[in-house]
Homo-oligomer: A and B are copies of this chain.
Amino acid sequence: MAQNEKGKLIIISGPSGVGKSTVISRIMSMRDDVCFSISVTTRKPRKGETEGRDYFFVTPERFSEMVAGNLLLEHAEYVGNSYGTPFEYVECKRNEGYHVVLDIEVNGAAQVRACAPESIMVFILPPGAKELERRLRSRKTDSEEKIQERLRQAKDECAEAHVYDYIVINDDPDMAAKELDSIITAEECRAAERLKYVKEVLIS
């Protein structure tokens, strides 16, 4: 159940292959006060994808309007399509008390932080470069060239981990999800978040 207070904005980044989606799906099964942000995209819906569940599907014109109107927390192009995080949807869920998780890359994370300085930035790090390479190879979908490119990109992304608030090492997804759970709980315990309870003790 969502709590009474405004939920937090939790930015999750990490290199391709590190297991972000696994960690995010575990945290969502652990806590019912966490939800995942739904992106806006100009991409056409794929079979089985539902508007408002998988994505908000919009025309390129509408997407441009949203960018111009500052309606997106961040946006980026990927393989010819635009993707963005809708500010209003995130605010609405946060006001319902949900902690909203965004899975975005390093540049998008910096855009969100600029709009929402209170956001909590978590970087998911692989336990080592060798292990990341092993995970990328185990997918068996990419060419050797593609794997090398992903590894270079991964190192570029990891080089930005120091700007994040927290680093979770995904050696084991259950441990990583437990760490993420602790981060969320600790952020709920921040003194600034609980001053109203102090007031209650003082005035009664």
Residues in A lying within 8 Å of B, measured CB to CB:
122-123, 125-130, 132, 154-155, 158-159, 161-169, 178-179, 181-183, 185-187, 189-195, 197-198, 200-202, 204
Contact = CB atoms under 8 A, between A and B. Distances in A.
B204 A129 contact: yes
19 contacts: A125-B194, A125-B198, A125-B201, A127-B197, A128-B200, A129-B202, A129-B204, A130-B204, A161-B194, A161-B198, A162-B191, A164-B191, A166-B190, A167-B190, A167-B193, A178-B185, A182-B189, A185-B186, A186-B186
B195 A166 contact: no
Most buried by B among A122, A132, A165: A165
A8 B193 CA distance: 23
Given A179-B185, A189-B182, A197 B125 contact: yes
Contacts of A183: 182, 185-186, 189
A195 B165 CA distance: 11
